[in-house]
Amino acid sequence: MRITLNGSEENLAASLTIAELVRAKNWQPERIVVEVNQEIIGRDSWSKVLLQEHDQVEILSFVGGGEN
Amino acid sequence: MNDHLEIGGVKLTSRLFLGTGKFSSHTFMGEVIRQSGVQVVTVALRRIDFASEEENVLQHVPPGCVLMPNTSGARNAQEAVRIARVARAAGAGNWVKIEVISDHRYLLPDNYETLKATEILAQEGFVVLPYMNPDLMVAKKLKEVGAAAVMPLGAPIGSNQGLKTREMIRILIEEIDLPIIVDAGIGRPSQAAEAMEMGAAAVLVNTAIATAGDPLAMARAFDFAVQAGRMAYLSGLAQTNQLAEASSPLTGFLR
């Protein structure tokens, strides 16, 4: 199954929930914000949202930055 | 002196806001915040770098500090609104610094898109602090649509040139009944003090501190300068004269 992950195409072997994707990728949950098709998915819903073919997934985080 | 700045229901005693970019590490940035008494910091939201082990910057912001996520990277109002919503959903509070930039040479803000984003986000309950090119009419409209403060630039971002827009900022301070926070371009503590003497409510500094030889000491220098400038403003500056005016008596000379 193909999704777009942070702008790059990604092939997933199976259909995954967001929680499963986060675990598989070894991301630290407290560090990230997840958006699917421009909709913010709260951490409570990660295990309920099953990723679909062609989903646009954004994994975001806060970084240092003031003015730029 | 019982002097504080109130924005979005929060009472601040420090009028030095800090940008968190360009520091050598997040830990060091946290130390700078603690030692300079800064109470408001701005952070950016980005796609995660899967190759990097770097931690979330928020873990290094001392508790009690107000987070002001910025919408840097947004090229129009719609993108700014999206970033602000994501930041709030991520638990960064309801303050947002609107930053809409499509000019990559001078990084000058797009006042029109900024106004649109401010209106939408203020209606959604955000405490909106728009970064803007100092224009009186735009500042008036920003107030009308619900901005909590207005943040005019002193000079292009990261340029350290000081208050190139001095006269326009003076006009905003005089005419706009909102806190005016000078954001961008301040390169030296003396320039921060000057903005405060003029009646700015606060200044936002990043590059001038983060890229100084000793950022910790420079942050403290800015803190002193902001306090000195504020105290001078509140004290009522003496007037300037064309000619000399003796300060000792002009009688009783020894001759």
Task: Give the pLDDT score at B170.
Answer: 97
Residue B10 confidence (pLDDT):
94
Token pair in block for residue A23: 């675990």
- Rounded CA-CA distance A45/A24 in Å is 17
Cβ-in-10-Å burial (0-12, 13-18, 19+) of B64 comes to exposed
What's the complex ipTM?
Answer: 0.84
pLDDT higher than threshold 90 for residue B45: no
Q: Shortest CB distance from A60 goes to which of B26, B46, B57?
A: B46
- Shortest Cα distance from B152 to chain A (angstroms)? 12
Q: What is the pLDDT of residues A21-61, one digit of tens each?
A: 988 888 878 778 899 998 889 888 999 999 999 999 999 88
What is the spatial distance between Cα A43 and Cα B255, in angstroms, rounded to a whole number? 87
Domain, as residue range, for A8: 2-60
Any domain includes A54: yes
Q: Helix, strand or coil for residue B220?
A: helix
List chain B residues with CB under 8 Å of A44: none
- Residues B152, B154: Cα–Cα separation, whole Å: 7
pLDDT at A67 over 60: no
B34 pLDDT more than 70: yes
Q: What is the pLDDT of residue B75?
A: 94
pLDDT at B1: 58
pLDDT at B150 over 70: yes
Q: 3-class DSSP state for residue B119?
A: helix
In tens, the pLDDT along B185-215 reads: 999 999 999 999 999 999 999 999 999 999 9
Residue B36, sorted as left (phi over 0), alpha (psi -120 to 50) or beta, turns out to be: alpha
Q: What is the mean pLDDT of residues B34-43?
A: 92
pLDDT given at position B212: 94
Other CB atoms within 10 Å distance of the CB of residue A63:
21
Between CA A7 and CA A57 the distance in angstroms is: 8
In a domain, A21, yes or no: yes
pLDDT at B8: 93
What pLDDT score does B180 carry?
98
Task: Read off the tokens for B138.
Answer: 């735009």
Residues of chain A contacting B18 with CB distance shorter than 8 Å: 66
Give residue-wise pLDDT tens across range B82-109: 999 988 888 788 999 999 998 889 999 9
| DSSP3 helix / strand / coil % (chain A, rounded to 5) | 20, 40, 40
| Assigned CATH topology for domain B5-235 | TIM Barrel (3.20.20)
Torsion angle of alpha carbons A18, B94, B143, B138, nearest 10°? Answer: -40
Burial B149-174 (b: 16+ CB within 10 A, else e): bbbbbbbbbbbbbbbebbebbbbbbe
For residue B255, the model assigns a pLDDT of 82
Assess whether pLDDT exceeds 90 at residue B135: yes
pLDDT top residue among B246 and B97: B97
Tokens describing residue B79: 């993108």
Average pLDDT, chain B: 92
Q: Does A40 touch chain B (CB under 8 A)?
A: yes
Determine, yes or no, domain membership for A9.
Answer: yes
d(C-alpha B91, C-alpha B227), whole Å: 31
pLDDT digits (tens, 9 = 90+) for B151-164: 999 999 888 899 99
- The pLDDT of residue B55 is 66
Give the model's pLDDT for residue A64.
82
What is the tally of structural domains in chain A? 1
Say whether A65 and B42 touch across the interface (CB within 8 A). Answer: yes
Start-to-end Cα distance in chain B: 46
Q: How confident is the model at residue B62 (pLDDT cuts 50, 70, 90)?
A: confident
Picking from A52, A64, A66, A65, the residue whose alpha carbon sits closest to that of residue A18 is A52
Q: What is the mean pLDDT of residues B110-114?
A: 96
Of B98, B174, B194, nearest to B182 by C-alpha is B194
Q: Which one-letter DSSP state was computed for residue B84?
A: H
Q: Is the Cβ pair A68, B26 closer than 8 Å?
A: no
Q: What is the pLDDT of residue B247?
A: 86
Is the pLDDT reported for residue B54 higher than 80? no
Q: What's the pTM?
A: 0.87
Determine phi and psi for A33, rounding to 5 degrees.
-120, 135
| 3 state SS of B58 | helix
Is residue B20 within 8 Å of A64, Cβ to Cβ? yes
Structural domain contains residue A15: yes
In CATH, what number is assigned to the domain containing residue A33? 3.10.20.30
> Best mutation site among B23, B38, B47, B100 for testing chain A: the one with the most A CBs within 10 Å?
B47
| Annotation marks residue B97 as catalytic | yes
Q: Considering chain B, what percentage of its residues have pLDDT values greater than 70?
A: 98
Distance CA B100, CA B70 (A): 10
What does the pLDDT read at residue A68? 47
User: Tokens in use for B128?
Assistant: 């909106």
